[in-house]
Amino acid sequence: MTMVAGVVALVLAVAVAIVGLFRFGRDLEANLWAGVAGLFLDIAVAALVINVLTRIEIRRRWHASYHALSGRFAACYVAAMRLFYIRIGPSVREANESRMPEFIEIFKLHLDDLRSNLEAFATLLEPDTYAECRAIEQRLWRLLIQIQLDVSIAHDRDVNIMRAVGRHISGFIRRHDFEKYDETLRAVSREMTDIPLSRAEHLCSAVVAEKAWGYRLTTQTRVNCALPELSGVSSIVQDYRGRHDLPYFLIDIVILNQALGGEESASASAGSGSGF
């Protein structure tokens, strides 16, 4: 609206100046016309400046919204993967069974936070992006429902869903925060040079899952020590600023791709983000 007002004022300023110049020449009345033209010119400049500042603010809010959603998606995924590992490995399940209700509530908390962020930023997101975000959110809610219906065991379908959702979240984060994504991926990859999984192994095997769980915890500890921004916070549960979300998400993505027999890396999987 300010852009239109500025353009209109600018056109009027030019028109008044031209009429005054040709009709009155150097007469006193010409000065009055010049004053009117100057007024319109001031309005035009003010309107255009306001428009530029408004665009800058919208862009700032746009970046903030995508950054916030990236963190919420990553946090949801890490919470879902925690529950996946606990359900699939007998010894892991036994060690964490008493905390299952807590972990489910944490997953719910992240999902509720994601939903509130999507609703808050709906007007800032492009329609296609908003639809994509909603589709990912629905998949995560379905995972939660499946976990609540059957907390005792994970299935092949859960692995496939986790991989598909992870691929889309990777694509979303990488498209909208490329530098942060690649920087974090490089840092995480440096701590994951000795993955004890071969592409012939399947994550739905209890033995493989428990091996992956142990490696997951070890890698998280390594990453905590390697990344300065994670110092002082020992775990993602205590991290209220979301600094662990992306590193831990990338750890899970790398392990999941490695254990499923795929050739994709975290950066490669980020490029395929169309359709579930």
Q: What pLDDT shows up at residue 36?
A: 61
Side chain identity at 206, as an amino acid letter? A
Distance CA 136, CA 227 (A): 28
Q: What is the 3-state secondary structure (H, E, C) of 111-176?
A: HHHHHHHHHHCHHHCCHHHHHHHHHHHHHHHHHHHHHHHCCCCCCHHHHHHHHHHHHHHHHHHHHH
Q: What is the pLDDT of residues 125-149, one digit of tens each?
A: 888 889 999 999 998 998 888 888 7
For residues 223 and 190, is the Cβ–Cβ distance under 8 A?
Answer: no
| Out of 48-52, 212-216, 264-268, least confident range | 264-268
- Average pLDDT for residues 259-265, to the nearest whole number? 50
The pLDDT confidence band at residue 86, using thresholds 50, 70 and 90, is confident
Q: What pLDDT shows up at residue 212?
A: 81
pLDDT at 13 over 50: yes
- Average pLDDT for residues 171-182, to the nearest whole number? 88
| Out of 58-67, 180-189, 265-274, least confident range | 265-274
| Out of 89-98, 129-138, 169-178, least confident range | 89-98
pLDDT at 77 over 70: yes
Distance CA 267, CA 269 (A): 6
Residue 60 or 226, more confident = 226
Q: What pLDDT shows up at residue 134?
A: 93
- Residue tagged 């890698």 (tokens): 219
pLDDT at 59 over 60: yes
The pLDDT confidence band at residue 159, using thresholds 50, 70 and 90, is confident
- pTM comes to 0.72
